[in-house]
Structure 1
Amino acid sequence: MKEITYLKGDATVPQAKETKIIVHICNNIGGWGKGFVLAISKRWSEPEKSYREWHRNRAKNDFELGAIQVIQVADYIYVGNMIAQLGIKTRSKGVPIRYEAVKECLEKIAKEAQLLSASIHMPRIGCGLAGGKWEKIEPIIQKTLIQKELDVYVYDFE
């Protein structure tokens, strides 16, 4: 069985030859401006533009926890916006990350990756501003991506 490959580097510069999907966590309130999304926006404008439009038209689409959006940003590179964060602040109900939504998003990303014959690249999703714990995220990645024999790369930025 495959395993997660851990790399040092920038997840917006994926280290693989084939088609790649860079995934990250978004919130469900339309906020884009802190954390990993800044690195994405620095490199490509399309993911932010698509996310903001998706949020703006949410009454007519699937913009909610567990939803994904896959945007092509280069010939062999896609960005997967995954809504798995409830708001942006820690409240009485805990941290913003919603692990069930992470699972739902990654299940959908797995299908997209299979269709595109793509590898999946990410920072330690959900563990920054979303307040999640890698010990909870890693098993979700194992169940949703690794068990489907997908190549998964997790980047620790230096």
Structure 2
Amino acid sequence: MPEITFVRGDATAPSAEGPRIIAHVCNDVGGWGRGFVLALSRRWSEPETAYRAWHRDRAHNDFQLGAIQLVQVEPRTWVANMVGQRGIRTGGKGVPVRYEAIDTALARLADRALALGASVHMPRIGCGLAGGTWARIGPLVTERLAGRGIAVTVYDHGDQAGH
């Protein structure tokens, strides 16, 4: 079974050969403007545009916790918008991360990655603004992706190493 590879670097610039998917976690309220999405938007406009349209038309599509949206940004590169957090603020109901939704989204991502023959690249999803812990999310990534033979690289961007 492939192991997850951890590197220091930018998840928006994966160095792998072949098809690749950059995965990240989005919220379920249509918010895009803090955290890793800023790096995505600096590089490509399509993931934000697609996410906002997906959220806006949610009454007529599959937008909900656990859903994924694959957006092609280059001939062999896609961004996976994965809905894995409820809201955007930590408050009376705890942190926004929803581990079950991330688990569901990762299972759906695995199906798409296998169909494309793609490797998966990500920051430590759900561990920034969403408030999750890698101790809970890492095993999901291992089971859902690496456990199905998908090469996964997790990028720590300098000050995030070890969180």
TM class by shorter chain equals over 0.9
Tell me which residue corresponds to 2:156.
156
Question: 2:66 maps to which residue?
Answer: 66
SS of the aligned residue for 2:92 comes to: coil
Q: Deviations over 1:9-51 (max 9, x none)?
A: 0000001011000000000000000000000000000000000
Give the superposed CA RMSD. 0.5
> For residues 139-154 of structure 1, what are the structure 2 equivalents within 5 Å?
139-154=139-154
Q: Which amino acid aligns with 1:155?
A: Y
| Structure-1 residue corresponding to 2:29 | 29
Q: How many aligned positions are there?
A: 158
User: Normalising by structure 1, what TM-score?
Assistant: 0.99
| Corresponding position of 1:106 | 106
SS of equivalent to 1:107: helix
Taking every aligned residue pair, what percent have the same amino acid on both sides? 56
Deviations 1:50-78 (A, max 9, x none): 00000110111111100000000001110
User: CA separation in 2, counterparts of 1:54 and 1:24?
Assistant: 16
Question: Unaligned stretches of 5+ in structure 1?
Answer: none
Shift of 1:85: 0.4
What is aligned with 1:88? 88
Within-5 A mapping of 1:13-52: 13-52=13-52
SS of corresponding position for 2:81: strand
Runs of 4+ aligned structure 1 residues displaced above 3 Å come to none
